[in-house]
Amino acid sequence: MKILITGGAGFVGSSLAIALKTNYPSYEIYCLDNLKRKGSELNVARISQLGIHYVHGDIRNKEDFDSLPAVDTVIEASAEPSVLAGLDGTPDYLINTNLFGTVNCLNYALKHRAGFIFLSTSRVYPIKTIETLNFTEAETRFELTDDQPVKGVSSKGIAEDFPLDGARSLYGTTKLASELIIQEYNEFYGLKTVINRCGVITGPWQMGKVDQGVMVLWIAKHYWQQQLGYFGYGGTGKQTRDMLHVADLYRLIDWQLHNLEKVNGEILNAGGGNESSTSLQELTKICQEVTGKTIPIKQVAETRTADIRLYITDNSKVTRLTGWAPQIGVRQIVEDIAEWLDQNHVTLEPILK
């Protein structure tokens, strides 16, 4: 099998490439990446030493696809992933990458009649609607209830039929727009596709920042004993997310790669679910236990732009169709990332500290 992974030197793309090459040594894998994200240059050596082909290119440039060979499947993992992207300036790079770049990927896939696996995001769901959901305030976190004002949400989390009307961030909008175009290619060009609306993906080799990669950021700040803050919602740190280890995501992508016809045309939520969820307050406690370090955490009551109180993925549909469910819990995720920091602290310190 020949596979192209766009964003192939990024956190998710390189993780998928390495796992695929390790499990299927005979597969020919190409990773296309423009290396814009700080730290992605470290992954070029990691993938190249396994015999994965790194191609320096940009999905915004359709000419960069011309030198690529025909492949059987495209895994579209490239993105400007920040939920704040475009909010403090021009959105051009965001739109050109996340929307027009996806169109270039689709046209390349169509040219070679390749399957198309798209990594979308839970951020396609509107912020204001999520913020009006019914919840309870427990001792250390916020929790969804079963009694809700809209469809597609319960105590299990948010499902694929959650309403899409409303604003969601420019980042979420570009991903949703890409989803709509993918559905057109599936219906009218016969391209085999699947869309995965991923929750918070994390794990070793993610270069975490405030606006994207909060799990790694939280652990790194503990590791190097720097200050953090609980921002918004009263400054209590009770805002809650589910966390998906990239190794769990790989198991889903692996299944889809080899069974694409069984989920052709589907849109699937994929996240950690309630079983792998944490509030910031709970995450702080686990980080203290795993790293043995306690750091100052300031409390800021004011809620920031595009923040949400509570998001949990309802994985019912993806589990029903594929049998997949996440297996790695929050504590193991923290332990994996802490071990990675320990083993690579010299290299990572200039990036993450």
Chain segment 20-54, per-residue pLDDT in tens: 999 999 999 999 999 998 889 999 999 999 999 99
**Together in a domain, 32 and 60:** yes
74, part of any domain: yes
Task: From 144, 177, 198, give the residue that closes a domain.
Answer: 198
* CATH assignment of the domain containing 343: 3.90.25.10
Q: Are residues 188 and 282 in the same domain?
A: no
Enclosing domain of residue 212: 126-157+203-243+272-312+327-352
Query: Is 276 inside a domain boundary?
Result: yes
Assigned domain for 149 exists = yes
Looking at the chain, the whole-number percentage of residues with pLDDT higher than 90 is 94
Residues 302 and 177 in one domain: no
In a domain, 57, yes or no: yes
- Do both 191 and 73 map to the same domain? yes
33-54 core/surface letters (b: 16 or more CB in 10 A; e: else): bbbebebbebbbebbeeeebbb
| Residue 29 is assigned to a structural domain of this protein | yes
Q: What percent of the chain has pLDDT over 70?
A: 100
CATH of residue 72: 3.40.50.720
pLDDT for the residue numbered 156? 98
The reply to whether 226 and 337 lie within a common domain is: yes
104 and 183 share one domain: yes
Query: Mean pLDDT, to the nearest integer, of 236-250?
Result: 98
Average pLDDT in the 199-209 region?
94
| Confidence band, pLDDT 50/70/90 cuts, at residue 281 | very high
User: What is the count of structural domains for the chain?
Assistant: 2
**Over the stretch 145-181, which tens digit does the pLDDT of each residue have?**
999 999 999 999 999 999 999 999 999 999 999 999 9
93 and 113 part of one domain: yes
Judge whether residue 81 has pLDDT over 90: no
88 and 33 belong to one structural domain = yes
- Residues 106, 253: Cα–Cα separation, whole Å: 18
Mean pLDDT along residues 328-342: 98
Tell whether 4 and 94 lie within a shared domain. Answer: yes
Confidence of residue 305 (pLDDT cuts 50, 70, 90): confident
Statement: residue 320 has pLDDT above 80: yes
Q: Is the domain of 52 the same as that of 192?
A: yes
**In a domain? residue 34:** yes
248 in any annotated domain? no
pLDDT above 90 for 317:
yes
Q: Where are the alpha helices (DSSP H) in the chain?
A: 11-23, 41-48, 92-95, 101-112, 127-131, 170-189, 214-223, 246-258, 280-291, 316-322, 330-343, 345-352
Q: How confident is the model at residue 87 (pLDDT cuts 50, 70, 90)?
A: confident
pLDDT, mean of residues 330-341: 98
Q: Bigger pLDDT: 85 or 210?
A: 85
Residue 114 sits in the same domain as residue 6: yes
Asked whether residue 306 is assigned to any structural domain, the reply reads yes
Give this prediction's pTM.
0.97
Query: Do residues 51 and 188 share a domain?
Result: yes
CA–CA separation, 106 and 186 (whole Å): 10
